[in-house]
Amino acid sequence: MFRKHPRRFIIATLTAALAGLAYAVLNQDAGWASSLSLSSPAGASRMVDAFEAASGRHAGFRRNHAKGTCLSGRFDSNGHGTEISTAAFFRQGSYPFTGRFSVMGSNPSLNDTHGRLRSLAVAMTAGGESWRMAMNSVPIFFVNTPEALLEQLRASVPDPQTGAVDPVRMDAFRKAHPEMQPFEQWLDTHRPSTGFDNAAYYSVNAFRFIDAAGRTQVARWRMEPEALYAPLSNAQLEADDPDMLTYGLVSTLAEGPLRWHLILTLALPGDAVNDATKMWSTQGHREIDAGVLVIEHLHAQVDGACRDIDFDPLVLPQGIQPSDDPLLRARSAAYAESHRRRVKESGGR
């Protein structure tokens, strides 16, 4: 039958060959990869290659969280954050920002209800300083090292023969990484919210906050919505409504600006400050409400201001420094590599 459709035969053959190559490369023994710094340019390229092989490649789009919408507004600081940091954004006043809501995955046409994790990214400016936040709707990450993330992506590469992820390989990965359990338990016990507007968003990693006297306080933060949380129903989860979250956001924003409180949670002795898989206890921590993030406008990501922004979590103002969490440096490097590729491909999206 291929004689009648030689082009189809060639495409099918190339597709199978490329899939087989990706499968072979990403599932080879990782001995040499463990010695490769995944926060280096070469290591970041390897990581982004793994994302593309595991989830597909869509030219011009982000390699993860490809589907999203741009937004803009202001951060109204109440001045309370100056207690622990000299960052300009904690001084009382209003600071403009550009941001982005997104869902997890590399497919820009993903059905909104198929992903249980959402993200909010923010790029704020104050004078000559910038603060970029990349936050998720789950407060912790599923692995605690870049090497483990690469291993998970390797286990997620679809078999070229079946087109499906090998459950044996994925099960072996889970057994080898028990640190995944808190993340999976969170997803099991916290149903996704009905919209972008009524979800909390977390820094996931910890950061160091330096005050005017030079004292350092480690903290995580979250954006806590003023809108009341409501869980997705079973019917909504099963519905074929690919743009439910974006349409819902348009509707709610038409009624007025959306607001989240920036809550800084200060670490206690014994808290895991360099391990993003560890939850902090829900009691005993001091929290500071540092102000309100106000979303005023939405913009299509195809030509919105957020389109070409690299929401690198290591773009920080003076007064805030990264912790020693190894994921932060690897995230920064991978974001930069993803940005380089998509902007080169089609001007970025």
pTM, two decimal places: 0.87
Domain definitions of the chain by residue range: 6-346
Q: Give the Cβ contact number of residue 109 at 10 Å.
A: 10
The pLDDT value recorded for residue 340 is: 92
The CA-CA-CA angle for residues 36, 42, 45, to 5°, reads: 115
The pLDDT value recorded for residue 7 is: 34
- pLDDT, tens digit (0-9, with 9 covering 90-100), for 16-28: 333 333 333 334 3
Is residue 333 within 8 A of residue 41, CB to CB? The reply is yes
- pLDDT, tens digit (0-9, with 9 covering 90-100), for 327-346: 999 999 999 999 999 888 87
The pLDDT value recorded for residue 163 is: 85
Is residue 12 within 8 A of residue 18, CB to CB? The reply is no
Whole-angstrom CA distances from 104 to 17, 76, 212, 246, 341 are: 27, 28, 38, 14, 19
Give the integer Cα–Cα distance in Å for 309 and 223.
20
The pLDDT value recorded for residue 8 is: 34
The pLDDT value recorded for residue 235 is: 84
What is the residue-level pLDDT of the chain in tens, covering all 349 positions? 333 333 333 333 333 333 333 333 334 333 334 434 888 888 889 999 988 888 888 888 998 888 999 999 999 999 999 999 999 999 999 999 999 999 988 888 888 877 788 999 999 999 889 999 999 999 999 999 999 999 999 999 988 888 899 999 999 999 999 999 999 999 999 999 999 999 999 999 999 999 999 999 999 999 999 999 999 888 887 777 788 899 999 999 999 999 999 999 999 999 999 999 999 987 899 999 999 999 999 999 888 899 899 999 999 999 999 999 999 999 999 999 999 998 888 754 4
Of 222, 178, 211, nearest in space to 318 by CA: 211
Q: Domain 6-346, CATH 2.60.120.200 — does that match?
A: no
